[in-house]
Amino acid sequence: MLNVTEIERILPHRYPFLLIDRVEEITPKESIKAYKNITIGEHIFQGHFPGHPIYPGVMIIEGMAQAGGVLAFKSIDGVTEEEIKDKVVYFMSIDKAKFRHPVTPGDKLEYQISVIKNRGKIWVLDGKALVDGELVAEAELKAMIVDK
């Protein structure tokens, strides 16, 4: 399990764009389960949508990517925290994205990411987002670890 402070040692993202609160499970080179608590205090709700707050699908996809980034970094054999600070994960593609149910304040958005393929610095990930066990979004993500 990783808390938000430990996540910040791995990812360069910070508030308001750090979109995972905790990692519950991680199996290097295989899968990760992380989550974000969605609250009405999210800045995005000021404009999306006033009086009818819906968490944007693009933010859900970014949360999947951030969880995938933690998985990728935690899967590199022998990498140190200092070496991680000099690297970043870039999106290469997002495929098969589907949004199945709106996410609203009060939801606990759970990310389940699994490795489809890994070749060197390239990762292909299957991402799923769930709320209360119900699939709300999914996508196939391709990313690459690069030097900053």
Q: How far apart, in whole angstroms, are the C-alpha atoms of residue 63 and residue 21?
A: 10
Q: Which of 111, 105, 106 lies closest to 130, judged by CA?
A: 111
26: its two tokens: 């991680």
Name the H helices within 27-91. 57-75, 81-85
Beta strands in 2-133 (DSSP E): 22-27, 31-37, 87-99, 108-119, 122-131
- From the list 13, 43, 48, 101, the catalytic residue is 48
Is-catalytic flag, 101?
Answer: no
Active site residues: 48
